[in-house]
Chains A and B, each alone.
Chain A
């Protein structure tokens, strides 16, 4: 049965959301996460009771981070979090080296695009995969039907499409001798606006919010294991309302009118095939 995982806007939003029929929550961890608004430290994670908690350690990891990452993983193992979502393969190697009993969710962003590779990771002991957002709806279903892993599909939230180690906003404002007022701006291409965000001395660009509400039925019918909603850059109330609608959709209620009234209707690549050879 398909479960719903939610990454809250902040801890207050989490307090409100945990009363709802949500199967689990995703949090970032301080200094080692990207793409998620609400980041906790280990002590805060320890204090969360009664809910399934997934921790994203999905920042790119440098040598200098390794010792801290080991300490964090040991703590998360002892806390017994429901899972660790990881990007950098150091996490996998450390979990294996230290023989930690951590449920890993493979999330090398933009890399989980075929079920053959998922078999490779499954054979390394990873039981879950966060599928790439550049896939079509049929690809999600095809991968689910052909791999042994539990599948996580990013169904609602800003889509990360670029991740750089450079401070691209800071550099620009320095060059133009202007003051950077905050860490969050937008760039525009044709009619689309893309969120550009500087965090921990790195820069991320997001596509507009994907909203796969209408596709929930297909994904549920095809046994996708987890649908993920991300409250990044949302107001609490706005995001809570979205979560309510998704809970209804997962429970099989008619959501067509609700979808029409939603702010975001971006379908990403759900129905669009990307090309890579201009000449055939």
Chain B
């Protein structure tokens, strides 16, 4: 039985590094053209080459999204870009527009092709269409329930990838151009301005009918941490986390938690899903639910009123080294913390543990009461050895 893949987003090299470090089996990225996060940092060809080497050196995989819906003027340069990706040794490209398939077949026939969720593949007949085109994997539409996914796995024989965590399109993917019409930004070419999160007044033919509760189509995020076992059981090949523009803190946390859930499945170990859910909630600060897997989502899966999305201050710092002699952690600060606070540390090789900060020293080893400056380097005492790139966060009151 092939182990399911945990697939992480990476908006830049730093995020990619943390995704791999915290347990992703593969990452997906975008180049500086042709991907649906046109306004994120993304990767130059040189960076893609470096990323491929980094990932392959660790026996992981890397996929590149080439998933815009092209207009005529966008196609120029695509052929050379695809050749470059092949030379970089990218493992697969993720596409929604068949122009990419046509050109890829011509210039890089050995490149694996994954069909993007933008195509909204909803059924086994559509999956089989793509299979006949030589596609090896389908990223399924998010609207499918367990039986739908299972049937597509069984009747197509393709690798099936499903989203397990992160933001959702409210529409069928690729079938929303609200952004084009409201802000002139082309959603299917990476310019989506998330109109689905706006509030609106609602009218009948003649008058406004909403009171203070504005009309909203916004939906909660996806969280499938309680369904991972079932997804593996029905034969899904790859479990995908959404969010190429998310922070390293978010990526590290989410990947770390799903890594543990997946490994627990294969090792027949029970895991506390409530605890996972809480940690996942804390790192996004948006409600997240199962959405379509068990039933068609309704009012409980939507967001109304003002949402609680305050800036998250949980991420306190990043371990940059450990001073064995003085038994001190050297930390790059990310959010305010002070002596006396309780903090939690976890990392790729560090099991989560918590303790009270007895003192803080600055770089010159002077005692200070507070670490208040972003990226300030400070020292805190800790008898337990920790490692570079471990994450330091607030200790949650219900930390388990």
Contact = CB atoms under 8 A, between A and B. Distances in A.
Nearest to A206: B181
B302 interface: yes
A186 B215 CA distance: 10
B89 to A, nearest CB: 26
A154 to B, nearest CB: 13
A161 B181 contact: yes
A110 B189 CA distance: 11
A270 interface: no
B176 A63 contact: no
B97 A275 contact: no
Contact of B38 (A111, A143, A178, A277): A277
A276 B299 contact: no
Interface in A140-165: 142-143, 146, 159, 161-165
B226 interface: no
A197 to B, nearest CB: 13
Given A171-B298, A187-B201, A276-B186, A110 B175 contact: yes
Interface in A62-91: 62-63, 65-66, 88-90
Interface stretch (B121-129, B235-243, B258-266, B276-284): B121-129
A278 interface: yes
A143 B213 contact: no
A13 to B, nearest CB: 20
A175 B304 CA distance: 8
Interface stretch (A1-9, A47-55, A115-123): A115-123
Q: Is the interface of A mostly helix, strand, loop or mixed?
A: mixed
B143 to A, nearest CB: 5
A174 B191 contact: no
Nearest to A92: B129
Interface in B17-39: 38-39
A274 B101 CA distance: 25
B273 interface: no
Contact of B213 (A146, A164, A175, A185): A175
A222 to B, nearest CB: 15
Contact of A114 (B99, B122, B128): B99
A230 B227 CA distance: 44
Interface string B189-212: 111000000101111110001110
B33 to A, nearest CB: 9
A120 B298 contact: no
A66 B123 contact: yes
Contact of B125 (A89, A117, A175): A89
B69 A110 contact: yes
B135 to A, nearest CB: 11
Given A63-B124, A88-B122, A162-B171, A134 B210 contact: no
Please indicate which of the listed interface residues A172, A185, A269 has the most CB atoms of chain B within 10 Å of its own CB: A172
B359 interface: no
B191 to A, nearest CB: 3
Given A120-B99, A165-B296, A114 B172 contact: no
A166 B98 contact: no
A162 B175 contact: yes
B151 interface: yes
A186 B217 contact: no
A172 B216 contact: yes
A23 interface: no
A135 B74 CA distance: 13
Contacts of B182: 189
Interface residues of A, number: 68
B201 A188 contact: yes
Given A188-B201, A276-B189, A117 B129 contact: no
A210 to B, nearest CB: 11
Contact of A278 (B129, B175, B185): B185
B180 A113 contact: no
Nearest to B147: A63
B72 interface: yes
A207 interface: yes
Contacts of A213: none
B134 interface: no
B174 A61 contact: no
A60 B203 CA distance: 27
B108 interface: no
A109 B99 CA distance: 16
Contact of A119 (B102, B202, B219): B102
Interface string B45-75: 0000000000000000000000011111011
Interface of B: 38-39, 68-72, 74-75, 96-99, 101-103, 119-126, 128-130, 132, 141, 143-144, 147-148, 151-152, 170-172, 174-178, 180-182, 184-186, 188-191, 198, 200-205, 209-211, 213, 215-217, 219, 296-299, 301-302, 304
Given A163-B171, A185-B202, A278-B191, 4 more contacts: A63-B152, A162-B177, A187-B202, A194-B181
11 contacts: A90-B125, A110-B174, A113-B70, A134-B177, A134-B180, A163-B175, A171-B299, A175-B213, A187-B202, A194-B181, A277-B38
- The 9 lowest CB-CB distance pairs between A and B, nearest first, are A90-B125, A276-B191, A276-B189, A120-B98, A274-B186, A187-B200, A116-B99, A276-B186, A163-B175
